[in-house]
Amino acid sequence: MQNQDFYRARIRKLLDEKNAILLAHCYQEKAIQDIADFVGDSLELARVASKTTAGTIVFAGVRFMAETAKILNPDKRVLLPDPEAGCSLADHCKPEDFASFKALFPDHMVVSYINTGAAIKAMSDYVCTSSNAENIIRAIPEDQPIIFVPDKNLGAYLCKVTGRDMVLWDGSCMVHEAFSLEKLIQLHRKYPQAKVVAHPESEAAILRIAHFIGSTAQIREYVRTQEAETFIIGTEAGIIHQLENDAPHKQFIPLPPEENNSCACSECAYMKLNTLEKLYRCLADESPEVQLEETLLKNALRPIEKIFKISP
């Protein structure tokens, strides 16, 4: 096993030589975040991907994010260091199942969360992220019924804040649904001054207690602008690296999952499949590359482009 400095130097050299840009999601391990050209949440990364002039995008994130970068840049090479980097939300919404579900509600528009495969995006009217979902839903006329797919927790939260009665697909994020209410109450007792922040993929019981509910980027903004010194973080623990960069003097406590849960520490096992070594190898080999069929690329682009118009 080579050390981190070895890979860091070679990755940066290959990025330059190959006119490539490294985009990293803020749930990636610290070493990957630190070497990236840009670190952000899925909306921020999609925006950067849509504007880059680099010929190759190396996406340190999960498959649906790299696919989104490819949909936005069909002529560029998009590399994903580990092709197994899936997502419990995206992987449990199969195109054939969703097509049958959608057929049950022929009058409904489909708003899909960006955490879906390209085939679900292609069946959608709008693709949103947690940063802009509320704006997108509010922009749809009130008498227009909506299916929201695939996250039932985010969907239920959006129904509550917008007053819409959307039909929800029964999906969830294995990290955010695992947070323990009991441990949150214990932590709150231990740190009574702490502000609780939570991502809306979390269950309603956690959201009810949170002082602030928002997307990854909105949580960063909240933490930066609050006077509080201590925060209990109800989202994937990788975000804490950026929170510490933004506010080094503040304290961040990750909200743990329930005992006996497959997620031992509020980390996304899929996100953590990427390593510096795999990043180096995929750049050197220019593989694994995201490949999507042309018609699928075209059909999946339409609902993504709309979000940039409504929520630039």
What residue ranges bind ligand SF4 (CB under 6 A)?
62, 87-89, 115, 173-175, 236, 268, 270-271
DSSP assignment of 102-133: HHT-TT-EEEEESSS-HHHHHT-SEEE-TTTH
Residues 23-62, one symbol each (x = binds ligand CIZ by CB under 6 A, - = not), give ------------------xx--------------------
Which of ligand SF4, ligand CIZ, none lies near 130, with the C-beta cut-off 5 to 8 A by kind? ligand CIZ
Amino acid at 146: I
Residue nearest to ligand CIZ (CB): 41
Nearer to ligand CIZ, 45 or 79 (CB): 45
Q: Which does 116 bind (CB under 5 to 8 A by kind): ligand CIZ, ligand SF4, none?
A: none
**Spacing of C-alpha 50 from chain mean position:** 16
Q: Which of residues 282-311 bind ligand CIZ (CB under 6 A)?
A: none
Give the CA radius of gyration of the chain: 19
Minimum CB distance to ligand CIZ smaller for 119 or for 173: 173
129 binds, among ligand CIZ, ligand SF4, none (CB under 5 to 8 A by kind): ligand CIZ
CA dihedral 91, 92, 94, 100 (to 10 degrees): -160
Q: Which two tokens stand for residue 205?
A: 């019981």
SS3 content of the chain, % helix, strand, coil (to 5): 45, 15, 40
Work out the number of other CB atoms within 10 angstroms of the CB of residue 55: 13
Instruction: State the binding partner of 88 from ligand CIZ, ligand SF4, none, CB within 5 to 8 A by kind.
Output: ligand SF4
42 makes contact, choosing from ligand SF4, ligand CIZ, none, with CB < 5 to 8 Å by partner type, with ligand CIZ
Using CB under 6 A as the binding rule, whether residue 88 contacts ligand CIZ is answered as no
Cβ 58 vs Cβ 28: under 8 Å: no
What is the helix (H) or strand (E) element at residue 206, kind and residue range? helix 204-209
CB of 303 to ligand CIZ, least distance (A): 16
Question: 103 Cβ partners below 8 Å, 6+ apart?
Answer: none
- 153 binds ligand CIZ, rule: CB under 6 A: no
Binding site feature residues for [4Fe-4S] cluster? 87, 173, 268
- Of the candidates 94, 114, 93, 110, the one whose C-alpha atom is nearest the C-alpha of residue 49 is 114
Q: Which residues are annotated as part of the binding site for iminosuccinate? A: 25, 42, 113-115, 130, 199-201, 216
Contact status: 115 vs ligand CIZ (CB under 6 A): yes
Count of beta carbons in the 10 Å neighbourhood of residue 38 = 14
Return the number of the residue (98 or 113) whose C-beta is nearest ligand CIZ: 113
| Residue 270 interacts with which of ligand CIZ, ligand SF4, none, CB < 5 to 8 Å by class | ligand SF4
CA angle (235 as vertex; 232, 236 as ends), nearest 5 = 120
User: Which residues from 197-256 bind ligand CIZ, rule CB under 6 A?
Assistant: 199, 201, 215-216
Q: Are 117 and 93 in contact (CB under 8 A)?
A: yes
Provide the annotated binding site: 25, 42, 87, 113-115, 130, 173, 199-201, 216, 268
Interacting residue ranges for ligand CIZ, rule: CB under 6 A: 41-42, 115, 129-130, 173, 199, 201, 215-216
